[in-house]
Structure formats: structure tokens, C-alpha cells
Amino acid sequence: MQAFMKTWVAACQSGGNARMVIPAGTFLTSQLTFTGPCKGRVVVEVLGTVKAHTDISGYPTPEWFNFEDIDGLEVSGSGTFDGQGPQVWALNDCKKNSDCQMLPTSLKFSHVTNGKLRGISSLNSMAFHIGINNCLNFEVSSVKITAPAESPNTDGVHISSSTNVVVTKSVIGTGDDCVSFGQGTFNVSITDIVCGPGHGISIGSLGKYEQEKDVSGITVRNCTLKDTDNGVRIKTYQGSDPSKATHMVFENIKLINVKNPLIIDQLYCDRGCTKSPSKVAISDVKFRNIKGTSSTENAVSIICSSSVPCANVELTDIDIQMVGNKPTTSECTNAKMLFNGVQKPLTKCM
């Protein structure tokens, strides 16, 4: 750990363009926090395999590799971050135990401006693989994220309170959402992602906490989802505080054996729900050119809030059939809908 930190401090304070290299080989470490501000741009080149120590006491906060308060950062290379999740996943009991210890995110970027993450592999994270929080102008490209379908809470890329984020040309197979979005997220582009296994690509869950910030300007385009529990979805908690989720586009999505292909769920609840309506106002949502196969009969589910019904939800060229060319069904409540082109299944809203 001391070698990592000494090298980081030298690179960060050197001025100009600096490079920190993690060479070929295998390295074991617990929590590391790489803090700025730095005197110039820093590239962290990862060539070897870095393994996480599985003694949870070595993570006083839920991050493993944590980069924060940096302007001009690139983490890239052909190396691997191995979270060794199978040794600790059994400790993930936060849905049952309010005093649980959160397991660490493998790569966390906080308050990073002009950041890039390229080429690396993330294997078997303890919790999230990659977390992007309070960042501005951040790009993730050509990464490979892998964990088994049964691994708990192992979101591939989670983005929150960040603006101008791109995630592109990556392969993500994990036990939770391939890409997920939290509150305060603006102008995000997700393109050319192959997702599966996992829970699909999800905006939310929104409304879990008090006075959450709005979400706007999310585009998911040219993605393939295979053998996932969900396809593309927006989900908000019951009984949430008021906020807005608007201007969202899901376009050119290929589905292969997806259980729940197209979802807006404003009745979401995973514990201790009030069953009162969500107050997250969803509007200006476009689902366009979404085609492929569903492993369940109900392919389209638009369940919006009775308190603030969804507004301007567009379905254009939706063509989803069950595996074996069987017809699919849909459900829709509390939404103002617009329909164009092919509609399979045919969707009507009450």
C-alpha cells in the first residue's frame, strides 16, 4: 500500500503530465484513496492484476480504489481489478440488517473533472464495480466487467450527481444492473454496451432519500441485452419526495431472451415501503426501435404514479416477441402515451 501511495503523491505533485504505472504481476491491497488536487494531468496505467484484501475491516468507507478531487485523470491499460467478491458476498445483508457494513465499490471516482477510464477489466467486485459520483466530463470506454449472475449488488457502472458522462464500447455481465443511474445525473450517454447477465440498464431507483435532485438528459443507444432479468427501465420508490426525471431516450436496443424488456415502475420497493404514491414526475421518455425476444409473456410494463402520472411517454417501433415467436402482452396505467410505427405488443393505457 505504501508503494502505491508514494508513487501517487510523486505523480500528483510533479507538475505537467505524469504517469503512475502498476506493472505486470499480482498485487494485494486493501483500501487506497488517491487524492488531489494535482499539479498536472495524471495517467494511471494498469498492466498487472490488483486483488482486493478480503478483510472487511480494511475498508473504513465503502471504496477500494478511490480517486477524488482531481482535474485531469486517466486510468487505463490492459490490467485487472479483482475484488475477490466470492469470499465476502455472504456478508451482504443490508436488506435485512440496518446496521450492516456496506461492502466496497472496486473503483470509485468522486469529484473528478475531465476523467477517463479505459481498457481495464473489473472482476468479481465486492459491491459495485465502478462508481462515478459528483464528476464532470467523465468517459468510460472499452472496459470489461464480469461477475456471476447470482452476485449481490454488483452493479457494473453506477452514475450519480454527475454531468456529461459517456459510457461506451464495453462488455458488462454481472449480478445487478449493468449500468444504473442515481439522483442528480445530467447529460449522460450510454452507447454500444453488451449487457448480460444482469438486471439490465436502469434509471433509478429514484426517490429513496429525502429531497433528491432531478435527473435529466439520459440517452441509452445501440445496446444489446442478453439473458438479463430486465431490459431498459425507470424505477422510483413508493412514497418518495417530489423530484423530476425527464428527457430520457432508449433507442436501437436489441433484446435476446430478456425477462422484462421495457419497464417504468413507480411502485418499486425493496424494504419497508409506505405504499403511498411516488412523487417522482417522469416525463418526455422515448422508447424507440426496441426489438428482440422476451423470456416472459409481459414485454411492456408502464406503471406510473397515481399522484404524478407520466407525461409524454413515446413508444416507436417496438417489436418484442416471446422466445419461440409467441405473442407478448403489455400493461400500462397512469401515463400519457404517444405511439408510432410497429407496436408488438399493442399497448394501451388506462
Query: 248 - beta bridge partners?
Result: 218, 285
Residue ranges of alpha helices (H) inside the chain are: 2-12
Radius of gyration of the chain (CA): 20
Contacts of 157 (CB under 8 A, 6+ apart): 129, 130, 132, 140, 145, 167, 172, 178, 179, 180
The 3-class secondary structure across 289-322, one letter per residue, is EEEEEECCCEEEEEECCCCCCEEEEEEEEEEEEE
Pair 206, 245: CB distance under 8 Å: yes
The torsion angles phi and psi of 40, rounded to 5 degrees, stand at -165, -175
Q: Which residue has the cell 470509485?
A: 108
- DSSP string for residues in 244-271: EEEEEEEEEEEEEEESEEEEEEEEE-SS
The torsion angles phi and psi of 327, rounded to 5 degrees, stand at -70, 155
Bridging pattern class, strands 144-146 and 121-123: parallel
Q: Is residue 199 among the annotated active site residues?
A: yes
Active-site choice (111, 129, 158, 199): 199
- Cell numbers for 328: 407478448
Which are the catalytic amino acids? 199
